[in-house]
Structure 1
Amino acid sequence: MTRHFFANTHSLTGRLAWFFGLFSVVIGVVCFILIAGSLYWSEDRVGERRIIIDRDDAISYFNVFPQALSVKLDSLTSAYSSVDAVPEEYRHLLQGKDSFLGEVGSDPDSHMIYMDSFYSQGEKRQIIVISLVDQVEISQREFVFVVGIALTLVSIMLVVFGLLLNRLSTRLIEPVNQLSTQLQAREGDTSQQFEVSESAASEFQILSQQLNHYRRQVNTLIKREQAFARYASHELRTPLTVMKGSSSLLARGDHNEFEQRQIERIKEATNTMSSMVDALLSLVRYERNQEDTPLRIISEQEIDYVLQQHQAQADQKQIAFSTDYQGSPETKASSAVIHILLSNLIRNAIAASSEGEIQVVINSHKLQVIDQGRGLNESNVTKESATEGHGLGLLIIHDLCERYQWQFELTNAANKGCIATIHFQRDN
C-alpha cells in the first residue's frame, strides 16, 4: 500500500506535504498531551511538597499543645490530630486507613489531603493536613495560555520544517518529473535534447547531459546502420543482376548433369541473396516509418514458395513437407522478411532431421515449423549455439522478431523433434 502510494513522482511532492501535515497533527497532539501531563504532574508534586512542610509545622504545634484537636496554619491549610476532628465531607476518605496522600474534589474547590502518624511524648497520634491547593495551582486560563504558547512555537517550527521539506522535495523530484515528461513526449524522436531547470541539483544536470550523450550515440548508430543497409543493398544489386543474367545465359547451352546442377545452385544462391537484400531494405523502411507501414496478410502462396525452394534439399534426406494453413495472420513485415525467417527455420529443421516429415502450421496468430529430428538438448538450446544453423541462424531470427515485436519460441515436441514458433499477436 505504501509503495503504491509513493509510486508516482508527479504527485509525490503533494503527497509528501499531505503526509508531513498529518505527521505534524500527530506531533501537535503528542506535544499537547506531554505539556498538559507535565503541568498537572508538576502541580501535584508542588502541592505534595507544600503539604509536607505544613505537616511539620502542625506536628510542632501539636507537640506544644497536645490537647488541641485542630489548628489553622494559614488561610489555605488546616491540621487535625484525629480523624474524628476532620470535617465530615472528608472523614469517610480517611477512616480505616493509616496513611493517605492525594487530591480530592474538583476545580475550583479541590483539596490536597495528607494523613500519617507521629509520636508525641511517647504516644502515637494521627496527623491530618488539608490544604486548598486550587489557590496556589495555575488557573484554567493560565493553563490554556501556557499550552497555547508551547503549541504555537511547535506549530511555527513544523511550518518552517514543512516549507523546507517542500522546497527540498521539489528540487529533488521536479527534475525527475521533467525528464520523465520529456521521455514520454519525445518517444521515438532522437533529435530533441533533455533539459532540467538550472536550480536542479548538479546530479540531475549530469544525468540530463549523459542522457543527451547516449541519445546522440543511439541516433548515430541507427543512422549508421540504416546507411549501411541502404548502401550495401544498393551495391549488391548490381553484381546480383550480373549473376542472374550470366546464370540465365549459361542455362541456355547444352550441359551435362553435373554442370546443370552447378548452374541451378548458382541460381538458388542468387535468389537467396536477392531475398536477403530485399529483407534488409524492408527493415530499413520499417525502422524509419514504423507508424506508416501498412499491415498486410501472409498468403499461403508465400509459404508454398519457400517450401518449393527447399524441396530438393529435403528430397536428399527423404523428408516430406506438409502445410496446415488455418488462418491469415497480419503483419507489417515484407514478404522478403517472412521468406528469410521461414527459410532459415526450414533449413534448420532439415539439418536436424534425418528423415520423416516437416510440418508448417500457420494461423491468424502464429507460425510453427514442426520437425521429427533429434530435438533439443542442453548443448544446442543456448543462444550462442543457435548460430550453428544454416543461413542467418536462429540468432538472427531472434533479432528480427525483436525488431517487429514478435515472440519466438523453440521447444521440444511431445514425441520427437522440436517446434519453432513465431507469435505475431504483438505485431500490431
Structure 2
Amino acid sequence: MMKRSKSQPSYYSIKHVKARLLQTFSLIALVTSFLVFFAFSLHLALEEDDQIEHHLVSFEEIAQSYYQLRQVNQAQLSKSVTAYFDANMLPKRIAQQGPLPLGKVTKYNTFLEDGFLVYHTKFQFNEQTIPLYLTIDSRAMDFGDGSWDTLMLISMLLMVFLIFVLRLSLKRVFDTLMSPISSLTHQLASNQDGAFSITEHSIIELQTLTEHLNSYTQMKERVARQELMFAKYASHELKTPIAVVLGAANLQAMKQDEAFQTKQRELIIKAANGMQQTVELLLNIVKQENSSPDSLSTKVTEQDLELAKYHSSAPKDTKVTVQIEEGTTVNLPLIAVRMIVGNLLDNATRFTAKGEISVRISSQEICITDNGSGLNNNNDIEHGLGLLIVHRIAESYGWQFTLSNNTNGNGCCARLIRIDS
C-alpha cells in the first residue's frame, strides 16, 4: 500500500470531503433546476401555442359575418389575424406548404423566420361553398404582456438564490455533524491525558464512540498502573526468596556432603514455590481478580507463618509475642497471611528499638501492635510499599486495614478486620 506524505493534505480529510460534497450538491442542484426550468418553459410555450390556436379558431364566425357583408377576397380581422376567402390570395410562404387539411389548425416553424398558424375551413354563402383561411404569426401575440424575458430572469435569479440557500444549509448541517469528529481527532492528536468529550447535542453514535474511547483509555491507564504496581510489589516481595535461592545455590557448591546438599536443594525448592505463590498473589491483587473471597478457608497456625526469623532479627531489647486463636481460619491464601504479617512485622521492628511487638490473629482480625516511635511525618513515608501491599491484599479479600497510634501515645497499631463475612 502506498503511503502518503505527512505534509501532503489528505484527500479524504473532512475539509476536502465537505468541499467535494458541496461541489457535487451544487452541480446536482444546478442540473436539476435547469431541467425543471426547461420543462416549465416548454410547458408555457406549448400552452401559449394552444392559446393562439383557440384565439385563431374563435375568429371563424367573425370572418363569415365579414364576408357576408363585403364579399372580399381577404380581410384583416384584427391586428394579428388575417382571413383569406380565396386560396389564390394566400401569401407565397403559406401557399408553398401545399394542400392544407380541412377543419384543422396547421402550424409551420422554421429556423430562419418566425412560424405561422393556418386554420382552413369553409362555409356556405348564396348556395356557394366559400373557402376560409385564417392565419396568424406564431409570435404575433404575447400572452405574457411583454414580460416573458423579465419572468425568465426572475426565475433564473430565484433558482440561483435557492441553490445558494440550500448550499449554506447543507454546509451548516455538515459542520454540525462533523465538528464532534474533528474535535475527537484533535483530542487524539494532542495526546491529552484527560477524558475525551464532545457536545451533548452530538448524534448518539458519536456519543457512544466517545464513551468507548474513554473506556479504552481508562482500561489502558489501569493496565499501565497494574504493571507498575506488580513491578513494585514483586521487587519488594521477591528480594528475600531470591536471596535464599542464591545463597543456597552457592552453599551447595561448597560441600559435597549429600545431607547438606539435600538441605540446600530443599531450601531452593521451598523458596521457588514461595516465589511462585507470591507472584500469583501479586497478579491477583493488582488485577483484582478475587471475586469470591468467601470460597477460601485457610487454617492458620504459628508454624505456618514461619516467624522464627522475626524473633531473631528483632532488636536486642525488643520482644516479639504471637497469639493465634485456636481454630483460626481466614478467607486468605496462606501466602497472603504470611505477606501481611511479614510486612507489618518488618515495619514494627524497624521503628521499635526497645519494647514489645504483639501479633494477635483470629478468624475476624489480624492485629500487630508495638510500643515504638509511632506514626509521624517522617516514618509515615518510610512505611511505604509494604503497607500499600497490605492494603491492597486486604481490599481484594474483603478486609479493612487501618494504621493508627496507640491510645497511650507509645507505638502504633496495625489492624485488619474482616468486613466481607
Q: What is the CA-CA distance between 1:105 and the residue it aligns to?
A: 5.8
Q: Secondary structure, in 3 states, of the residue corresponding to 2:106?
A: strand
Residue of structure 2 in register with 1:330 after alignment: none
Residue 245 of structure 2, aligned match among 243, 246, 255: 243
- TM-score norm. by structure 1 comes to 0.51
Residue of structure 2 in register with 1:142 after alignment: 147
Residue 88 of structure 1, aligned match among 86, 92, 117: 92
- Indicate yes or no: 2:230 matched with 1:228: yes
- Indicate yes or no: 2:184 matched with 1:179: yes
Q: How does 1:287-306 map to 2 (within 5 A)?
A: none
- Indicate yes or no: 2:169 matched with 1:167: no
Q: How does 1:278-289 map to 2 (within 5 A)?
A: none
**Partners in 2 of 1:138 and 1:77 — Cα distance?**
15
**Partners in 2 of 1:152 and 1:139 — Cα distance?**
19
Amino acid paired to 1:254: D
Q: Residue 77 of structure 1 contacts residue 129 of structure 1 at CA under 8 Å; is this kept in 2?
A: yes
Residue 253 of structure 1, aligned match among 256, 262, 269: 256
Going from structure 1 to structure 2, the CA distance change for 1:119 and 1:232 (only over 3 Å counts) comes to farther
**Partners in 2 of 1:176 and 1:119 — Cα distance?**
85
Amino acid paired to 2:237: E
Q: Residue 248 of structure 2 contacts residue 265 of structure 2 at CA under 8 Å; is this kept in 1?
A: no
Q: Residue 100 of structure 2 contacts residue 120 of structure 2 at CA under 8 Å; is this kept in 1?
A: no
Residue of structure 2 in register with 1:212 after alignment: 214
Q: What is the CA-CA distance between 1:130 and the residue it aligns to?
A: 0.5
**Partners in 2 of 1:210 and 1:77 — Cα distance?**
81
Q: What is the CA-CA distance between 1:204 and the residue it aligns to?
A: 4.5
Q: How does 1:326-405 map to 2 (within 5 A)?
A: none
Q: Residue 108 of structure 1 contacts residue 134 of structure 1 at CA under 8 Å; is this kept in 2?
A: no
Q: Deviations over 1:167-216 (max 9, x none)?
A: 11101111101212221331xx6x23324357755765665455334423
Amino acid paired to 2:164: V
Structure 2's unaligned 5+ residue stretches are: 1-9, 283-421
Q: Residue 28 of structure 1 contacts residue 151 of structure 1 at CA under 8 Å; is this kept in 2?
A: no
Going from structure 1 to structure 2, the CA distance change for 1:131 and 1:265 (only over 3 Å counts) comes to farther
Amino acid paired to 2:88: D
Q: Deviations over 1:138-179 (max 9, x none)?
A: 589732210111222232233222222211110111110121
Going from structure 1 to structure 2, the CA distance change for 1:263 and 1:116 (only over 3 Å counts) comes to farther
Q: Secondary structure, in 3 states, of the residue corresponding to 1:112?
A: strand
**Partners in 2 of 1:96 and 1:113 — Cα distance?**
8
| Structure 1 vs Structure 2 CA RMSD | 4.4
Q: What is the CA-CA distance between 1:123 and the residue it aligns to?
A: 6.9
Count of residue pairs the alignment pairs up: 267
Residue 77 of structure 1, aligned match among 76, 81, 84: 81
Q: What is the CA-CA distance between 1:19 and the residue it aligns to?
A: 2.1
Q: Residue 117 of structure 1 contacts residue 126 of structure 1 at CA under 8 Å; is this kept in 2?
A: yes
Q: Secondary structure, in 3 states, of the residue corresponding to 1:175?
A: helix
Q: Residue 6 of structure 1 contacts residue 15 of structure 1 at CA under 8 Å; is this kept in 2?
A: no
**Partners in 1 of 2:179 and 2:198 — Cα distance?**
9
Q: Residue 76 of structure 1 contacts residue 132 of structure 1 at CA under 8 Å; is this kept in 2?
A: yes
**Partners in 1 of 2:143 and 2:111 — Cα distance?**
14
Residue of structure 2 in register with 1:128 after alignment: 133
- Indicate yes or no: 2:161 matched with 1:156: yes
Q: Secondary structure, in 3 states, of the residue corresponding to 2:169?
A: helix
Going from structure 1 to structure 2, the CA distance change for 1:263 and 1:91 (only over 3 Å counts) comes to same
Q: What is the CA-CA distance between 1:122 and the residue it aligns to?
A: 7.9
Q: What is the CA-CA distance between 1:91 and the residue it aligns to?
A: 0.4
Q: Deviations over 1:206-253 (max 9, x none)?
A: 654553344234312321233124322442242122123224434533
Q: What is the CA-CA distance between 1:110 and the residue it aligns to?
A: 4.2
Q: How does 1:28-67 map to 2 (within 5 A)?
A: 28-59=33-64, 61=66, 64=68
Q: Deviations over 1:360-403 (max 9, x none)?
A: xxxxxxxxxxxxxxxxxxxxxxxxxxxxxxxxxxxxxxxxxxxx
Determine what percentage of the aligned residue pairs are the same residue. 24
Q: Secondary structure, in 3 states, of the residue corresponding to 1:34?
A: helix
Q: Residue 104 of structure 1 contacts residue 113 of structure 1 at CA under 8 Å; is this kept in 2?
A: no
**Partners in 2 of 1:254 and 1:266 — Cα distance?**
17
Q: What is the CA-CA distance between 1:7 and the residue it aligns to?
A: 4.3
Q: Deviations over 1:48-76 (max 9, x none)?
A: 111121234335555x4796543332232
Q: Deviations over 1:300-340 (max 9, x none)?
A: xxxxxxxxxxxxxxxxxxxxxxxxxxxxxxxxxxxxxxxxx
Q: How does 1:258-277 map to 2 (within 5 A)?
A: 263=265
**Partners in 2 of 1:201 and 1:212 — Cα distance?**
17
Residue 29 of structure 2, aligned match among 24, 30, 48: 24
Structure 1's unaligned 5+ residue stretches are: 281-428
Going from structure 1 to structure 2, the CA distance change for 1:176 and 1:118 (only over 3 Å counts) comes to farther
Amino acid paired to 2:258: H
**Partners in 2 of 1:265 and 1:29 — Cα distance?**
95
Q: Secondary structure, in 3 states, of the residue corresponding to 1:101?
A: strand
Residue of structure 1 in register with 2:118 after alignment: 113
Q: In terms of Rg, which structure is larger?
A: 2
Going from structure 1 to structure 2, the CA distance change for 1:238 and 1:265 (only over 3 Å counts) comes to closer
**Partners in 2 of 1:71 and 1:253 — Cα distance?**
149
Residue of structure 1 in register with 2:312 after alignment: none
